[in-house]
Amino acid sequence: MPMRREQVAAALEWLGSNANPRERFRRMISLDQPQDTDAVDMAVEMGASIVPGVGQALAARDFERARRADDETGMAMAAASAVPVGRLIGALKGFDPAMAKVADYDPRFDPRVKEREKLLKLEPQVESRGTVNAPEISIADLEGRPFITSMSDRTAAGGLLRGINDVEFRQPVNLQGGQDFMFENPGMVWASGVRPTKQIQKLAEEVKVITGQDPLYIPWRMAPTGGDFASMTGETMLNYADAALPKKVKKSVDAEIGKLIPDWAGLGSERAMQQFRTSKDSTRKLIKQKLDVNFREQGGLGIGEARVAVTDPRQLVAPDTGIQNVGRIYTDKPIVAKSGHPAYPAGVPGEGIGRIKEDVRVYELLEPVAKARGVADPRNPSQQDIRALQMKPYYGRITEDILKRMGF
């Protein structure tokens, strides 16, 4: 599992003291795996990497015990005691620590006040595939390049959602993106319905004729509810219901869904999940609504929790219309007939290039469009201006003047 060096450094600094903190973790974990040195080494680093993410959650007494521990294992054990067991085990098995804790979120994921505490305590158990390794780039590096932009939901890619909090799913939810789709699908830069995919590809071909270059693809960020069309949110609610609800309540869930999908195969079956994925969006919406309204208080998962669980952590509090990833469209290749994404069947050929390190909003790059629409503040467009961006893909060029006005 990829892990940033600064995470480990921060963990070791926090653990502090003259004794080797890595050795403390080694001793703690090797109690279970004394023969497997490689596994211990990996688990040690996984354990170290989760410490910064749980620092705020440490109870005061655990924090002090960790700081003052005299014995070599005491500090690690004290730190571990403040971490929920399911999460600690998950992290040591290779779950992505960056996706294991919700520090904050945009309230539009779920505006209900009573749900806020649940969302802040949410701990998605995401096992990383290690496929999303986007290099960081600057928008200034793209000067002179033509680009095409269209909307992107905030869903995560590159992993399996295997559970939430201490509830483990029997069927993991495949996280396919979203923004990061372009980095784990070689040969594709985007996926959508057949019509919008053809629109993007046709525009790309026209841009190539005008500029002589394959255009970049720079998707802009939708609102937090934008990911509801993808099946991942509903799959998460269904898998949680299967794993967490009592048998009697699960029968009630199956009965309710059976009214919408007459041959419903039942919670926990692979066929049922496929039935959900291939149902109309209106049917999927009704199922999510029923799970949220009728079964949330009986031990089920709320829709806000499901939305957050499948969201890219970088986008939990990120602004609407912000850009994040950059790819390049292949204008000399046809659209991909089968993208592999259950909600977005067709693919735009291309490749991922990198992740923008600056905070840039799409109307800042679409300067002529912003002027034509009379957008007063390109960084904070109105809902009407955002709606206009949803209607079709737009073309622009990243010029020196645009970059200067942005402060580059």
Rounded to 10 degrees, the C-alpha dihedral 120/126/131/137 comes to 10
**In the chain, what percentage of residues exceed pLDDT 70?**
75
State the burial class of residue 259 (Cβ atoms within 10 Å of its Cβ: 0-12, 13-18, 19+): exposed
Residues 206 and 283 in one domain: no
Mean pLDDT of 78-87: 39
Q: What is the mean pLDDT of the chain?
A: 82
Confidence band, pLDDT 50/70/90 cuts, at residue 104? confident
Residues 131 and 54 in one domain: no
Residue 120 lies in a domain: no
Q: Helix, strand, coil proportions of the chain in percent (round to 5)?
A: 50, 15, 35
**Cα gap 202→335, rounded to integer Å:** 10
**pLDDT of the residue at 237:** 98
Residue 109 lies in a domain: no
**pLDDT of the residue at 16:** 44
Residue 111 lies in a domain: no
Q: Final residue of a domain: which of 292, 310, 328?
A: 310
Neighbours of 168 (CB within 10 A): 15
**pLDDT of the residue at 338:** 93
Residue 282 lies in a domain: yes
Report the run of H or E that residue 120 belongs to, with start and end. helix 116-120
What is the reported pTM?
Answer: 0.76
Whether a cis peptide bond, with omega within 30° of 0, leads into 407 is: no
Residues 11 and 72 in one domain: yes
Q: Final residue of a domain: which of 71, 94, 117?
A: 94
Residues 238 and 220 in one domain: no
Residue 110 lies in a domain: no
Residue 142 lies in a domain: yes
Residue 42 lies in a domain: yes
Residues 242 and 299 in one domain: yes
Structural domains of the chain, count: 3
Mean pLDDT of 173-180: 95
- Nearest CA among 243, 242, 232 for reference residue 306: 232
Domain that holds residue 60: 5-94
Whether the pLDDT of residue 33 is over 90: the answer is: no
Confidence band, pLDDT 50/70/90 cuts, at residue 91? very low
Residues 223 and 318 in one domain: yes
State the burial class of residue 142 (Cβ atoms within 10 Å of its Cβ: 0-12, 13-18, 19+): buried
**pLDDT of the residue at 44:** 43
Whether the pLDDT of residue 77 is over 80: the answer is: no
Mean pLDDT of 208-237: 96
pLDDT tens digit sequence for 309-333: 999 999 999 999 999 999 999 999 9
Classify strands 151-152 and 220-221 as parallel, antiparallel or unpaired: parallel
**pLDDT of the residue at 102:** 67
Q: Final residue of a domain: which of 252, 287, 310?
A: 310
